[in-house]
Structure 1
């Protein structure tokens, strides 16, 4: 699970490092094309066996691909054109409290006062980072465009996590293959539009390494490790590892990209961490 979160944190680092090297639509399109090729090579038997169920549940598969695979990746890479990897990672820390919020609002899941308090604290921490420690700027729409784009992707990923609870009853690798394949189809028109606008990926070593990294590590291996981790420790314990992402990412962003760690980043992480502790107290009390 720790390796999974490290790979996912590295996705934002790679996305930021590829700015000016690989256009965002090219990066997300070829990421999923290569990941799909890897999954096809290792899981074609499971896909063959589960084909009927995947076809029957095609609407759910399409919704999963649209929210959590195609849109989230595309919006993350587009947003990273205009913001730092550090900011993107702290914004992504809003995913767990947003899942709780949507489950409470949409699925009527029981949520205690401690969980609500923790959710509010975590979201407040994200707002502190979004506003660069000046929350009053949000009243005047003083929000960085890149952060706003990534925030939309985070909301969609939280929706994806809820849809995942109603996933088809198929082998996990079959579901990965189906969602990756659908994402490639959904992303193709946007990649073509990017090419038509004149954006091209240069076939240089840094570009190829960047695409290879996001295809293998945060895509194929991370999903494979996450599925296995859930089997070994359970979904509740596995979800706790998600909170390591901004921590791993902050270290990588400072060491590899030379990004500055500001006081508002620290304040945001403290608030998010406090929210996690408060919500966990509520779970124990329940």
Structure 2
């Protein structure tokens, strides 16, 4: 079990770095080009890795195709198109702290969809997480949301929350019949195929021709480390300890993202960001504390 926990920590740390890499890559190419190149590279890497880990090439059974298409549509196509689009205007740390409420969203829908326990501490934790997100997006003035509303970038990041929650919950059901590496590999391949048409329509070849060493370095980080290893390790955790407990490890993502955003991108650390982030993470802890205690 220690090995599973270490892999979940590793995936969270790698994903924390994606927020900074996404901000950098967004200055070199459009969101669909970036997302397609990420998963085109990841698909090749994962196909070879899966063949090595499972002793055979990943199989695509016809009866598993609906689940794999759902994973590809939510966790690959939707999440990454929204991820790169949002990061063009939203600071890495701010975006990562909004996405930090994913475990609370997963817990909410796990209770509704899978009839998991839904006690009062979990309800309070979810409410606390959402309050923290409200503080972050309002810049410390929640009343401003009623007048200025949310920016297009913020809406994209909220879309990331919804799509990743759906991806995690669908993954729990998919893991009942598909090995983790095969599921991730085929969802990446299918997701890359979904991303290709809009990428071509929005200037993929132009972006490829203009990309320099920094852009290709970010794509390599996304495709091999953050996607190849990060996704595989995360799904091993989902299968071993369930989506709610595995989702707790995502709490490390915003910590890494905020730290790297401050160190590398010189992003400010405001009081509203710190307080809102604290509320989000405290709410996530409260949401999952009871479930973790009951499983020990």
Q: Which range moves more in the overlay, 135-144 or 252-261?
A: 135-144
| TM norm structure 2 | 0.87
**Quick check: 96-105 or 252-261, which moved more?**
96-105
**CA 192–56 in structure 1, closer or farther in 2 if over 3 Å, else same:** same
- Is 2:15 the partner of 1:14? no
Q: Do residues 266 (structure 1) and 268 (structure 2) align?
A: no
After TM superposition, where is structure 1 displaced by more than 6 Å over at least 4 residues in a row? none
Q: 2:40 aligns with which of 33, 36, 43?
A: 33
Equivalent residue, structure 1, for 2:232: 224
Runs of 5+ in structure 2 lacking a partner?
1-7
Deviation of residue 248 (structure 1)? 1.2
In structure 1, the partner of 2:265 is 257
Farther off after superposition, 221-230 or 184-193: 221-230
User: Structure 1 regions of 5+ residues with no counterpart?
Assistant: none
2:213 equivalent among 195, 205, 210: 205
Q: 1:128 to 1:201 in 2, by over 3 A?
A: farther
User: When the two structures are superposed, what TM-score results if normalisation uses the length of structure 1?
Assistant: 0.90
Q: Distance in 2 between matches of 1:284 and 1:25?
A: 38
2:47–2:57: 8 Å Cα contact kept in structure 1? no
Structure 2 partner of 1:282:
290
- Quote how far apart the aligned CAs of 1:164 are: 1.2
Looking at structure 2, the residues matched to 150 and 97 of structure 1 have their Cα atoms a distance apart, in angstroms, of 16
The 8 Å contact of residues 51 and 58 in structure 2, kept in 1 or not, is answered as no
Specify which of 129, 154, 162 is matched with residue 136 of structure 2. Answer: 129
Q: How far has the Cα of 1:223 moved from its partner? A: 2.0
The whole-number CA distance in structure 2 between the counterparts of 1:127 and 1:281 is 23
Alignment of structure 1 residues 1-286 onto 2, 5 Å: 1-44=8-51, 46=54, 51=59, 54-167=61-174, 169-195=177-203, 202-228=210-236, 234-235=241-242, 237-283=245-291
Q: Give the secondary-structure state (helix, strand or coil) at the position aligned to 2:29.
A: coil
Cα distance, 1:275 vs structure 2: 1.1
Cα deviation digits, residues 239-262 of structure 1 (max 9, x gap): 322111111111110001110111
Q: How far did 1:228 drift?
A: 4.9
Deviation of the 1:108 alpha carbon: 3.6
